[in-house]
Amino acid sequence: MGFEGGQVQNAIYVAGESPWPISAAEWEARAAEVLEPGPFDYIAGGAGSEATMRANLEAFERRRLRPRMLAGTAERDLAVEVLGTRSPAPFLLAPIGVLSIAHPDGEVGVARAAAATGVPLVLSSAASHTIEEVAEAMGDAPRWFQLYWVNDREIALSLVRRAESSGYRGLVVTVDTLTLGWRPRDLAKAYLPFLAGEGCAQFFSDPVFRSRLEQPPEEDVLAAAVAMLATFPNLALTWEDLAWLRGQTELPLLVKGVLRGEDAALAREAGADGVIVSNHGGRQVDGAVAALDALVEVRDELGPDAVVLMDGGIRGGADVLKALALGADAVLLGRPYAYGLAVGGQEGVEAVIRHLMADTDITLALMGARRATDLDRTWIAASS
Ligand code: GLV
């Protein structure tokens, strides 16, 4: 038997108090207390009216599980394997950039928590710590790299090569953020952390990016940040470019940010090994379909054998299980771990991960299922 959620639960009761917040809402509230409004809203906010952020949550709320009783679930297995990468729980840590605005340890704190728990981390192109620093913090622990495919192919490819040589075992190409969405909370405060050089580590440390600058970032941060922001938008990108990238790397390639069945099919035709259904946590297209609803469409399009992950709205174990039942091979956890980092650094992230594992394990047991991977649509009420 692997992980035991009951032990995590008992430890809290026996201690007489929980050292950490328990509900997702409480983690968020604590993060709001410790962070300045600029950083907090950058993490918590979304595009436009934030309708899609709410829709992500509502889509989980709307679905209802159908537990079975007396199914003999004393022995359980929460683990999943996705494209050769194993996770002890059916979730990974989603790529989130600029985590130095949440905590000085930034992505290195997250990396250490991921390594301590065995849950894979998808490191962001917009991180505040480099590909190599995060690799060093993780040792052999599993990690993927998320690529923002900037408008300079040589820079993009340089990032891919660095990830390959630093032990990252998957490449996640984000296709929904070819430019930043319209984000009222940030606009109202004119808050963009990259302009202060935060979240620029991959670029500032990249030999190809540096060769494009007149002065190194150490001498002129603002000019380097402006150069990075000028490199970022890439609205000319098409599926043909993806086919080119496929030919450049042997890493498993996943396309993140797909919301329609036909786009998932195009990703597969271009050579992607998997897709991640996502609306970027509601940060890009306000009014876009909820990620969980899009998951159903994408799974229907690609069939049972395709690798399909999702993110957007995972706040508890029941959400993880609902997504698996509706066709996800695994999910990605986003904002909750950023709040964990803000509240408690590495230990906070570890607490968020262990709580979600415990909640998922206990709920799986009570659902009458032994393996997370056993769930299918029969576990979701038809009326929901
Ligand atoms: C960038 O990826 C962002 O969502 O802020």
Q: Give residue-wise pLDDT tens across range 209-240.
A: 999 999 999 999 999 999 999 999 999 999 99
How many Å lie between the centroid of ligand 1 and the Cα of residue 312? 13
Average of per-residue pLDDT across 25-44: 98
pLDDT of residue 254: 99
Q: Whose CA is nearest to atom 1 of ligand 1?
A: 97
Measured distance CA(311)–CA(328) in Å, rounded: 9
Which residues are CB-contacts of 312 (< 8 A; sequence separation ≥ 6)?
56, 277, 278, 279, 280, 281, 282, 290, 291, 292, 334
* H or E element, residue 358: helix 335-367
pLDDT of residue 3: 81
Average of per-residue pLDDT across 201-207: 98
CA dihedral 315, 163, 109, 284 (to 10 degrees): -40
In short, whether 256's Cβ falls inside 6 Å of ligand 1 is no
| Residue with the two structure tokens 């490449």 | 171
In short, whether 315's Cβ falls inside 6 Å of ligand 1 is no
* H or E element, residue 331: strand 330-333
State yes or no: pLDDT of 2 exceeds 70.
no
In short, whether 283's Cβ falls inside 6 Å of ligand 1 is yes
Average of per-residue pLDDT across 158-172: 98
Percentage of residues in the chain having pLDDT higher than 90: 98
Do residues 10 and 358 touch, judged by C-beta distance below 8 A? Answer: no
pLDDT of residue 340: 99
State yes or no: pLDDT of 384 exceeds 80.
no
Pocket test for ligand 1, best of 43, 52, 96 (most atoms within 8 A of CB): 96
For the chain, the average pLDDT equals 97
Q: Give residue-wise pLDDT tens across range 300-327.
A: 999 999 999 999 999 999 999 999 999 9
How many Å lie between the centroid of ligand 1 and the Cα of residue 39? 12
Do residues 139 and 133 touch, judged by C-beta distance below 8 A? Answer: no
Average of per-residue pLDDT across 271-285: 98
| Residue with the two structure tokens 């940030």 | 186
Do residues 291 and 267 touch, judged by C-beta distance below 8 A? Answer: no
Atom of ligand 1 nearest to the CA of 174: 2
How many Å lie between the centroid of ligand 1 and the Cα of residue 96? 7
Q: Whose CA is nearest to atom 4 of ligand 1?
A: 283
Active site residues: 280
Percentage of residues in the chain having pLDDT higher than 70: 99
Summary count for the chain: helices (H), strands (E): 16, 10
DSSP state of 65: B
State yes or no: pLDDT of 77 exceeds 70.
yes
Q: Give residue-wise pLDDT tens across range 51-72.
A: 999 999 999 999 999 999 999 9
Nearest Cα to Cα of residue 354 among 119, 28, 175: 119
Do residues 154 and 16 touch, judged by C-beta distance below 8 A? Answer: no
How many Å lie between the centroid of ligand 1 and the Cα of residue 271? 25
Confidence of residue 383 (pLDDT cuts 50, 70, 90): confident
